[in-house]
Chain A
Amino acid sequence: MKPELGTVGRSEPRKDAREKVTGAARYVADLEAEGALWAAVLRSPHHSARIVSLGTERARRAPEVVAVVTSADVPGQKRYAAILADQPALAVDVVRHKGEPVALLVARTREAARSALGLLEVEYQELPAVLDPVAALEPGAPPVHENGNLLTRYQFTTGDPDAAFAGAEVVLEETFRVQRVAPGALEPEACLARWEGDGSLTLWVSSQKPFEDRRNVAAVLGLPEERVRIVSAVVGGAFGGKEDSGVAVLAGLAAWAARGTVRVVNDRWESFLAHPKRHPAVVRYRLAALRDGTILGVDVLGHLDKGAYASYGPAVAGIFTESLTGAYRIPAVRVDTRLAYTHAPFSGAMRGFGGPQAHFAVESMVDMLAARLELDPLEVRRRNAVRPGDRHYTGVPLDSSARSMERILAELERARKRLRLREAGPGRRAGVGVSLAVQSMGLGAHVPDDSTARLEWLPDGRVVILAGSPDLGQGLAVATEQLAAEALGLPAARVFTAPLDTRRSPDGGVTCASRMTYLTGNALRAAAARLEARLLEGAAELAGREVAELRYQAGEVLLPDGRRLAAGAVASRLAERGARLAAEAVASFAYPPERTPQEYPVGIPHVLHVFCGQVARVEVDPELGTVEVTDVVAVHDVGKAVNPAAVEGQIEGGVAQGLGYALSEDMPLKASGEWVDGFAEYLLPTARDVPRIECVLLEEAEASGPWGAKGVGEMGVAPTAPAVANAIFDAVGVRLTRLPASPEAILSSPGGPPPGERPR
C-alpha cells in the first residue's frame, strides 16, 4: 500500500496571497527608497541606424539631471549575455531595433528624467533594415550583425525521410506562420539599484534569474560578482519575459553613475520594444503517410525570427526543433531550423520556449491528414501517438513519460463526445478540435542544469526555505513548501520561503523550463534528509545520547526514554552556540548517457517530457468570421499534482495565453512604421474572452521526480492554439495556417465558410 501523503496533493493556501489581496505586497516599483533617483532610457527610433554623434552636454547641464550614461561610459564589458554576449547595455555605434537603449539619464524625478531625454542630441544615419527571417537569410540582406544573419542552424535527420516520402500513399505540405507575441506579465520590468558606500551595489529585481543578473551587472560594471547583491522583490508575472537582465544592467549603470539609489521602471511600450518576445516563425511542413493514417515521415524547414539579439534564441530553436514531431512516433524525420537575426525587437524565452510554434504546425498537419483521408482526427492521433518503449526522433527513450498517452486520448475522446452534443447558437456553427502536445523539462543536455536548496530550522519551530530561484507568481513557493513539509513530515504551515537574496540564498538556477517543481523538489528532499540528520546529531549532543538511539518524527526527536525534543528547541540550543540548524543539497537534472544521445549540439536533446492534450469547442459566426471559444478541456499528466489548485491555475493561465495566441495577440509593424507596443492594440484576452476551462489532471508518477511530480509551468500553452484552429476547421471547413486566426482569414479563405443556420 502506498504511504499516505501529508501535504503533497492538497490545495494548500499560498502564504503570499494575503499580502497580495490587501495590496501590501511590494513589487519593485512599490519599494520605498529614501532619496531614490529616477532613470529614463533614450531609445532608438530606428530599426537600423548608425549613431553618427551623441551629444549629452545639454542634458547634463539640465536642472535636476544627475547623470547621463552612454556606452562610452560603461566601465566593464559593453555587452552582456543570455547565451551569447551580443547585446550592448547601451548601443555601441549602431542601433539594431526600435526601442534599443541608446543612453541612460538619471534625474531627481521621473518626469525630469523623461523630459530631459529630449535634450540628448543624437544624429542617426539610417541603414536598411530587414524584418523577416526568411528575407534575412537571402543574399544581400542587410546584415544585423557582422557575422551574417544566420545565428543558429540545426539540421537533424533520423531514419530515411527520402524513402518515407517515396513510399508514401499521401503527402501533405503546408506553410504555417505564427506571430510575434509578448509575455505580457502585468508588472512591467523594473529594478531598483543602490550604490553602496563601499563601492558595491545592491539591486532589487523582478526577474527569473537573479544570479544571472548578478553576473551580467558585475560584468558590465567591471565589478567582481561578490560586490553585486541581488534581492528578489515580489514578481508580478514573467512567462519568459523576465529571463532578461536588461533593466538590471541599466539600473546598475545608473546607480553607479549617480553614486546613489536609482529606479528604472519600464513603461508598457518599453516592455514591448526592448524585452523578450516569443519568436515569430515560418514553418514549412511536409508529411508522408499511408492511407490508414500512419505517418511515415516528416520534412520540416523552420525559420525563427530572432530579432536583433540572441537572448535565449539558440535554446528556443533547440526545443522548437525537438518539438516538431509533437507527441508522435515518426520513424523518418528531417528537420532544418534556421534562427535568423532581423531588425525587429528581440525574441527570447516565452512560456513553451519554441513548443507553441512547432505544435501549431504539427497538430494542424495531423488534422489535415485526417481530413484528407476522411479519418477521425482523434483516431489518426491514436494511431501515431507515442507509446512506452518508443524513442523520440532524437533517440531519447520516452518510456516513462509516454505512459499517460493512452489515458490522455481516452479523456479527449470523452470530452469531445460530450462537447459535440451541444448545438450551436442561432446563426452559428459549432466545431470541436483536439490537439496533443509534449513539453520537455529542463535545459537540455550539456547545459548546467542544477538547483541548490537550503533549509533551516528556526528556533520558533518553523522551517525556512532559502529559495534559490524566484517565485514568479506561479506558486513555486507554496509547491516547494509542501514538498519540504512532506519530506519533514510537517504541516505546510510550518514551512515558509525566504525571498531570494544572492548574499544568503544558494543558486537555484533560472526559474524556467518547467524544471522547478521537479528539480527544486528533489533538492529539497535531499536537503530535508540532511536537515533531519543534522537535527539528530544536534539532539544527540544536547541529550548526551548516540545518534542511533534517536528517532525523528514530524518535527520532533524521540529520545529512548520516551521524551520528545522539539526541533525548534534543538535549533534554539544550537543558536546559543552560534550554530544554525541548516542543510543544503544540490539536485541535478540527470542526462544519463544511456538516455542522452551525444551527437547533438549543446542543449539538445531534452530527456524528460510531459504530455497533454486539449479539446476546444468553438462557435463560428460564418457571416462575420468571428470565433468564440466556448469550452476548453485540458487533460494534463503532471506526474503528481503537488498543489492541485495551483496546478489548475498554471493550466488555466496557459490556456488563456494559448487562446490569445490563437485569436487576438499580435505585435505587427503598423502602417505608420511603428510596432504595436501597447495594450490598446495588443489584445490580451479579457475575462469575457476566456471560457470555462475544465482541467483533467492525470498522475502517472515520474520515478525520478519528487513524489512523482513533473513540470507544469509551460505545457498549458502549446496545445491550445492548434486545438482552436482544428475546431474552426471542424466548424466551417476553413484551415488556418496563420496565427492569430483573424475573422478576415476565415471569411476570405478559398470557398469561405458554409452558411450557418439562419437566426431564428
Chain B
Amino acid sequence: MTVSFAVNGREVQIACDPGRTLLEVLREDLSLTGAKDGCGGEGECGACTVLLDGEPVNACLVLVGQVEGRRVETIEGLAPPGGELHPIQRAFVEAGAVQCGYCTPGAVLAARALLSREPDPSEEQIREALAGNLCRCTGYAKMVDAVRRAARELGREA
C-alpha cells in the first residue's frame, strides 16, 4: 500500500505497511533520524516529537497510514543542510541547552509549535510546552532560557 504525505515541504509516497509507526518510517525509509525513540514507543518521552499539521505529536504513536495527505515537519526541515540555523536552533546552541542532544530535536520542535502560536510566552507556558519532552541532562533550565531567547529573536525578526 502507498501512503502519501508531505515531509518538510516535500511530497513523499511510500509503499509500506500503513500500520508501521510514523517514527519507523521517518527513520528507516526516509533516513530522517532526528526523531528518536526514547521510551519504547509509549509516548512518554517526546524524543520522537514531530509537527503534524503544525502541532507537536509523538511520532511513535502515529501510524503512517494516519498521516495520508497530511503535513509532517521534522527537525531536518528546520534549517537547510549546512545552512543557517533556525533562530530556535541557534538559541538552543547559544543558551547551552544542548547536552547529550537526544531530546533536543523534539524539544526544538515543541518550542517551534509554541512560538508559532504564542510569540511571547511566559515561563509557565514554556514549561508547559516542554512538559512532554523529557530531558535527563539539563534540568531544563537552559532549555527554558533558549526558548525565551528564541522568542526575543523571532520577535525582532517579525
Q: Check whether chain A touches chain B (CB < 8 angstroms).
A: yes
Contacts of A581 in B (CB 8 A): none
Chain A interface bracket (under 10, 10 to 19, 20 to 34, 35 or more): 35 or more
- State whether A186 and B136 are in contact (beta carbons under 8 Å apart), knowing that A27-B102, A646-B96, A688-B127 are contacts in the complex: yes
Contact of A25 among B81, B94, B101 (CB under 8 A): B101
Question: In the complex, A500 Cα to B37 Cα: how many Å?
Answer: 24
Name the contact of A186 in the complex, choosing from B45, B79, B132 (C-beta under 8 A): B45
With a cutoff of 8 Å between Cβ atoms, the chain B residues found around residue A29 in the complex are 33, 36-37
Minimum CB–CB distance for B8 against chain A, Å: 11
Report if B57 contacts A (CB, 8 A).
Answer: no
Chain B positions 69 through 86: 1 when the CB is less than 8 Å from some CB of chain A, otherwise 0: 000001110110100010
Once A27-B36, A186-B36, A473-B102 are accepted as A-B contacts, the answer to whether A22 and B44 lie under 8 Å apart by CB is: no
**A732-754 vs B, Cβ < 8 Å mask (1 yes, 0 no):** 00000000000000000000000
Instruction: Give Cα A652–Cα B133 distance, bound, in whole angstroms.
Output: 17
Question: Which of A230-238, A298-306, A362-370 is near enough to bind chain B?
Answer: A230-238
B39, B108, B130: the one within 8 Å of A679 (CB): B39
- Return chain A residues, CB-CB under 8 Å to B134: 186, 679, 684, 686
Which partner residue on chain A sits nearest B77 by CB separation? A23
8 A Cβ contacts from B9-32 to A: 27, 31-32
Digit string of B41-58 for contact with A (CB within 8 Å is 1, else 0)? 110110100000000000
* B152 touches A (CB below 8 Å): no
Q: Report A654 CB to chain B, min CB distance, Å.
A: 8
B101 near A236 with CB under 8 A, answer yes
State whether the Cβ of B153 lies closer than 8 Å to any Cβ in chain A.
Answer: no
| Docked-complex contact B141 and A690, CB < 8 angstroms | yes
A16 contacts the other chain (CB 8 A): yes
Are A473 and B99 in touch, CB under 8 angstroms? Answer: yes
Is B136 in contact with A474, judged by CB distance below 8 angstroms?
A: no
Q: Is A353 an interface residue (CB 8 A)?
A: no
- Scoring A11, A13, A23 by chain B CB atoms within 10 A of each residue's CB, the highest score goes to A23
Central interface residue in A24, A186, A474, by most chain B CB within 10 Å: A186
Task: Check A187/B102 contact, CB under 8 A, given A21-B93, A646-B96.
Answer: yes
Q: Could you tell me if B93 and A655 are in contact, using CB atoms closer than 8 angstroms?
A: no
Which chain B residues border A657 with CB–CB below 8 Å?
136
Main secondary structure of the interface of A (DSSP, over half): loop
Within 8 A of B (CB), among A1-50: 11, 13-14, 16-27, 29-30, 32
Q: Is the CB of B136 within 8 A of A185?
A: yes
Interface residues of A in 254-289 (CB under 8 A from B): 265, 267-269
Residue among B31, B89, B140 making CB contact with A656, cutoff 8 Å: B140
Contacts of A427 in B (CB 8 A): none
Residues of A within 8 A of B98 (CB): 14, 16-17, 20-21
Contact assessment for B44 and A687 in the assembled complex, using a CB-CB cutoff below 8 Å: no
From residue 455 to 474 of chain A, which have CB atoms closer than 8 A to chain B? 472-474
- Expressed in whole angstroms, the Cα–Cα distance for A103 and B38 within the complex equals 24
Q: Is A489 an interface residue (CB 8 A)?
A: no
Indicate if the CB atoms of A23 and B102 lie closer than 8 Å: no
CB-CB contacts below 8 Å: A201-216 with B: none
Q: Within 8 Å CB of B41, what residues of A?
A: 267
| Neighbouring B residues of A20 by C-beta, 8 Å | 98, 101, 104-105
Q: Is A551 an interface residue (CB 8 A)?
A: no
Query: CA–CA, A184 to B144, complex, Å?
Result: 21
Tell me which residues across on chain B come within 8 A of A127, comparing CB atoms.
none
Asked if A13 meets B33 with Cβ closer than 8 Å, knowing A186-B38, A687-B140, the reply is: no
Q: Is B74 a contact of A237 with CB atoms below 8 Å?
A: no
The docked-state distance in angstroms from the alpha carbon of A680 to that of B27 is: 24
Indicate whether A648 reaches chain B with its CB closer than 8 angstroms. yes
Cα–Cα distance between A314 and B107 once the two chains are bound (Å): 38
Cα A648 to Cα B142 in complex, Å, equals 9
Q: Is the CB of A473 within 8 A of B137?
A: yes
Is A678 among interface residues, defined by CB-CB distance under 8 A?
yes
Question: A22 contacts which of B89, B103, B141, B144 (Cβ < 8 Å)?
Answer: B89
| Residues of A638-684 contacting chain B, CB below 8 A | 645-646, 648-649, 652-657, 678-680, 684
Chain B count of residues within 8 A CB distance of the other chain:
55
Contact B75 A23 (CB under 8 A): yes
When C-beta atoms are compared, the residue in chain A nearest to B110 turns out to be A687
CB neighbours (8 Å) of A692 from chain B are 141
Task: Decide if A475 is an interface residue (CB 8 Å cutoff).
Answer: yes
Task: Indicate whether A693 reaches chain B with its CB closer than 8 angstroms.
Answer: yes
Identify B44's interface contact among A237, A472, A678, CB under 8 A.
Answer: A678
B96 and A645 contacting across the interface, CB-CB below 8 Å: yes
Cα–Cα, bound, A11→B96 (Å): 8
- Given the known A-B contacts A236-B102, A646-B96, A688-B128, are A652 and B138 also in contact in the complex, defined by CB atoms under 8 Å? yes
Q: Does B100 lie within 8 Å of A237, measured CB to CB?
A: yes
| Chain A residues with CB under 8 A of B42 | 268, 678-680
CA distance A688 to B140 in the complex (A): 9
Rounded to whole angstroms, the CA-CA distance of A14 and B37 in the bound complex is: 24
A188 at the interface (CB under 8 A from B): yes
Task: Considering the complex, give the chain B residue whose CB is closest to the CB of A13.
Answer: B93
B47: A residues at CB distance < 8 A: 186
A19 and B108 alpha carbons, distance in the complex (Å): 13
Q: Is A80 an interface residue (CB 8 A)?
A: no
Q: Which residues of B contact A678 (CB under 8 A)?
A: 39-40, 42, 44
B7 in the interface, Cβ–Cβ < 8 Å? Answer: no
For A653, the chain B residues whose CB sits under 8 A away are 99, 136-139
B5 within 8 A of partner (CB):
no
Which residues of A are found within 8 Å of B38, using beta-carbon distances?
186-188, 268, 679
Given A185-B100, A186-B36, A678-B39; A21-B138 close (CB under 8 Å): no
Residue in chain B with minimal CB distance to A187: B102
Q: Say yes or no: A687-B131 contact (C-beta < 8 A), given A237-B137, A653-B138.
A: yes
Q: Cβ of A239 < 8 Å from any Cβ of B?
A: yes
Q: Is the CB–CB distance between A21 and B40 below 8 Å?
A: no
Instruction: Give chain B residues whose Cβ lies under 8 Å from the Cβ of A186.
Output: 36, 38, 45, 47, 100, 102-103, 134-137
Expressed in whole angstroms, the Cα–Cα distance for A690 and B105 within the complex equals 20
**In the complex, residue of chain A having the shortest beta-carbon distance to the beta carbon of B86:** A21
Instruction: Give the one of B40, B108, B126 with max A CB within 10 A.
Output: B40
A16 touches B101 (CB 8 A): yes
In the bound complex, do residue B85 and residue A684 qualify as a contact, i.e. CB atoms below 8 Å apart?
no
Chain A residues within an 8 Å CB radius of B39 = 268, 678-679
Contact partners of B104 in chain A: CB under 8 A? 20-21
Beyond the given A22-B85, A22-B89, A679-B38, please list 17 additional residue pairs across the A-B interface where CB-CB is below 8 A: A21-B75, A21-B85, A21-B101, A21-B105, A22-B75, A23-B75, A237-B100, A473-B99, A475-B99, A648-B142, A652-B142, A653-B136, A679-B45, A679-B134, A686-B140, A688-B131, A690-B141
Listed A/B pairs (18) with beta-carbon separation below 8 Å: A13-B94, A20-B98, A21-B89, A22-B79, A185-B100, A186-B100, A187-B102, A268-B38, A474-B99, A648-B141, A653-B99, A653-B139, A678-B40, A686-B132, A687-B133, A688-B127, A688-B131, A690-B140
Nearest first, the 4 closest Cβ-Cβ pairs linking A and B are: A23-B34, A473-B100, A20-B101, A236-B102
Question: B: which residues have CB within 8 A of A?
Answer: 27, 31-42, 44-45, 47, 74-76, 78-79, 81, 85, 89, 92-94, 96, 98-105, 108, 126-128, 130-144
